[in-house]
Structure 1
C-alpha cells in the first residue's frame, strides 16, 4: 500500500498562507469578468468601457508596425529603451499638452503602460497604510483597485460640498495617516459621465492647497467631447495660477486607449519633475519600460491621423450617446433617473430605492442584456441601486433594443 504524502506547510498548495496582508484588499474587477460576456453573440452588452474595434485606425497601425520592424528601424523598435519613454512620442505629448494649456517639457512626461499603470505607481508612491485618498463618490473602480493594494482609507470628496478642511484632516489623522491626494476624473467621468466645471476645478485646487495634498487628474476621456465647450484641465488652471508646472501639485494622466487603441497599452503622466523622476524609479523596478515598438507605432499614428481619427470617434460615439439618451426616455419607467453627459462612454443610472443593481443584473442577463452594477464604483460598496451603461460599443439599433429589454426588466421588478 502506498503511503500518502502529507502537504508540508511550505508546499505550493499552501503558499496562499504566505501572501501579504495587502492581498486581502485585491478583488477581481467586475468589469473584467463582465467583458467575457462580449464573446456571447446573443448578449447586448452595455458593460465594458470599450472602444468599438470597427473604428480602430488599423491600416495606420499596420503601416506603422511595418515601418518600425523594417531593417533600418528594428534595432530601435525591438530593443530596450529608456524608462522615461520614446523621445519623439514624449515630444508629441508636449505639443498636445500645450494645445490644452499645459506648458511642459519632455522631462515632465513619463510614458506608462496605459494610465492604469500610472494609477498603480501613484498609489505606491503616495500611500502608506491608513493614509487617506479622497475620491469621488462614485469613482472609477480601476483606481480603487490600483490603490487598494497600498491599504488606504477612502474619504468622499465632492467639489460642490464645503466640508471643513479641518474635519477632513482630523478624520485622516484619527485613522492613523494623512490625506495624500485627491483623485478625480475631470471630463466625462467613469462611471457617471459627469464633467467638472471650471469653477469646480478651481475649487478642487484650492481645497487641495489647503489640505497640502496632491491632485491626480484622470483625463482618459478628455478628447471624447460631443457637445459643449472644452474645459481647461486642472493642471492648466494651476499653471495659470502658479506660473510653472514645477510649482504644481496636480498630476495629469492621459491615455491613447480611448482614442487610438487600448491593446497597445500606452498612456502618460505629466507632472513636476520630482514626481516624474520618482515614478521613473518605480517603473524601472516594475517593468523597465513600456514596449518600445508600441510607443513607436503610437507616435507614428498620432502624428499622422490623431485629429482626423478623433473627429470620427466624436461623430460616431456622439450619435450613440444621443441614441441611448433617447432610448432611456422612451423605455425607462417612472422613478428611474440617469445622467446626460456631453461626452465620454457612459451613462449613469439610478434605480428606485430598494432595487439593487447586482440583483437586477441577474434578471437582465436572462433577457440577454448586460451592464455593470454601480456598487463596485463606491469605495464603501454603498448606493447599490445604481448601474453603469456603456454606449460606445453598440450601434443605435442595438442600443434601442437593449434599453427596451432593460426597461422591461426594471419594470417587472418594481
Structure 2
C-alpha cells in the first residue's frame, strides 16, 4: 500500500477518537473579521500587555553574553530556578508555604492539565468535573479515555460512595476531581469557602486528587477573596507535602499568553513525576521566555494585575448592565465577581448553536454555545459571553443586537 492510499483515520490509536477541535479556537478565527463583535474568546486584551517591559527584558538578557548563553541553551525540565523561587514566594502570599521543589514550569496551565491527566487517569477511570466545565480541561483529559461524572461543589448531595460505586461500575476508579474555583470558565462563578472545604472532604473520602485551575484567580473586581483550595489543604494537612491538591497557575491572563509560561504547584513527589512527563513531551519550556517572565514579574506583577482589574471591571459592569437593559424575560445570567465570563441561560426552546449561526449571519455578533462545556449531560440552551476584549461601547451594541435576536427566536421568528 502506498502512502497516498493510506486511510489515516484507520491508523490512528483508539484515543484519537476523543481528540476533537475546540469550538472556541475555531471561533477565534472570527476575530480577523473587523465587523464582528466577538464575545467568544476568553482572551486578554493585548492593549494591556506590558510590551515595553517585555521588550526591555529581552534586550537586557540578550545583550549580556553570559545571560544570553543561558537563555538560548537547553535547560532543566523543572524550569528556570529564579522563576520557580519567585512563584514559590507568590504561592506563599496565597497561603501556600513551599519552595522551588514544589514548582514545575509548564507551557501554560494547559500543559499542566495534560500532564496531570496522563499521570492520574487510566483508561476507564472517572474524572469529576463541574457542569459546565472548562472545555480545555476536557480536551486535555479526553485522550486518556476517562468517563466523566458531575462534581457539584455547591448544594450537591452526592455521597463519596455514590461516586466510588459509579466509577467502579464503569470499570475504574475516581482518578481526579477538577474545577476552576475562582470566576470559573465558563460560568464566571466562584466556589464558596464552605463548598471548598466540602470538596476536600470528598477527595479525602475518595482518596483522589484535586486539580485546582487558578487561571483567573488574580482577576477579582469585588467581593471577598476566598482562600485557594491548596491553601486550605495545606492548613488542614499540616504542610504541602501532605496535600492532595495540585494548583495550576499561569501568567497568560495577567502578563502575556504568548510566552506560554504557567506552573504546577504541589507535593514534591508529584512534581518529580510530572517532570518526567515534561522531559518526554518537550524537554523544557523556552529558557529565554522563562527568564523574561521572571524579570517582568519581579519588576511589576502587582501593578500589572491592578491595571488589568481596572480595565476588566469596567467591561464586566458594562456587560451586566447591557444584559439587564436588553435581554427579554426568561433569560438569566451569572454575575461574576471577577474573571472574564458571563454564563447565560436561555429559554429551553432556544438552542445556543442555532442562535450562534443566526447571530453571526444577522447580527455579526459571536459567542460560544454552552453545549461544548459539558463532559456529560450536555445542555444546549446556554451560552458563554466574554467581555475581556470588547470596549463598553461594543458591549452595549453587541448585547443589544443579540438580545433582539433572542427575543425574535423566543417568539418563533
Match of 2:15 in 1: 22
Task: Report the Cα distance in structure 1 between the residues aligned to 2:79 and 2:316, rounded to whole angstroms.
Answer: 35
Task: Report the Cα distance in structure 2 between the residues aligned to 1:239 and 1:75, rounded to whole angstroms.
Answer: 39
Task: Report the Cα distance in structure 2 between the residues aligned to 1:409 and 1:356, rounded to whole angstroms.
Answer: 12
How far off its partner does 1:232 sit? 0.6
1:93-112 alignment, distance < 5 Å:
93-112=87-106
The secondary structure found in structure 2 opposite 1:149 is helix
Unaligned runs of 5+ in 1: 1-7
- Find 1:163's aligned residue among 158, 165, 175: 158
How far off its partner does 1:16 sit? 2.9
Task: Report the Cα distance in structure 1 between the residues aligned to 2:206 and 2:5, rounded to whole angstroms.
Answer: 46
Asked if 1:347 is matched to 2:342, the reply is yes
How far off its partner does 1:206 sit? 0.4
- Find 1:403's aligned residue among 388, 399, 412: 399
Match of 1:53 in 2: 46
1:60-71 alignment, distance < 5 Å:
60-71=53-64
- Find 2:207's aligned residue among 195, 212, 236: 212
> Per the alignment, do residues 9 and 174 of structure 1 end up closer, same or farther by CA in structure 2, a change over 3 Å counting?
farther
1:10-409 alignment, distance < 5 Å:
11=4, 13-72=6-65, 73-159=67-153, 160-366=155-361, 367-380=363-376, 382-409=378-405
CA contact (8 A) 2:219 2:309 kept: yes
How far off its partner does 1:11 sit? 4.6
Task: Report the Cα distance in structure 2 between the residues aligned to 1:11 and 1:247, rounded to whole angstroms.
Answer: 54
Task: Report the Cα distance in structure 2 between the residues aligned to 1:358 and 1:54, rounded to whole angstroms.
Answer: 30
Unaligned runs of 5+ in 2: none
CA contact (8 A) 2:331 2:346 kept: yes
The secondary structure found in structure 2 opposite 1:155 is strand
CA contact (8 A) 1:184 1:216 kept: yes
Task: Report the Cα distance in structure 2 between the residues aligned to 1:387 and 1:15, rounded to whole angstroms.
Answer: 34
- TM-score normalised by length of structure 2: 0.97
Q: Which runs of 4+ in 1 moved over 2 A?
A: 9-16
Task: Report the Cα distance in structure 2 between the residues aligned to 1:241 and 1:141, rounded to whole angstroms.
Answer: 31
Task: Report the Cα distance in structure 2 between the residues aligned to 1:26 and 1:12, rounded to whole angstroms.
Answer: 23
How far off its partner does 1:381 sit? 5.7
Q: For the aligned residues, what is the CA RMSD? A: 0.9
Asked if 1:412 is matched to 2:412, the reply is no
Task: Report the Cα distance in structure 1 between the residues aligned to 2:159 and 2:306, rounded to whole angstroms.
Answer: 43
CA contact (8 A) 1:375 1:381 kept: no
- TM-score normalised by length of structure 1: 0.97
Q: Deviations over 1:59-80 (max 9, x none)?
A: 0000011112124221011111
Q: Deviations over 1:26-79 (max 9, x none)?
A: 100000000000000000000001100011000000001111212422101111
Q: Deviations over 1:321-352 (max 9, x none)?
A: 00000000001000000000000000000000
Task: Report the Cα distance in structure 2 between the residues aligned to 1:320 and 1:201, rounded to whole angstroms.
Answer: 28
Deviates more, 1:15-24 or 1:329-338: 15-24
Q: Deviations over 1:230-279 (max 9, x none)?
A: 11101101111111100000000000000000011000000101110000
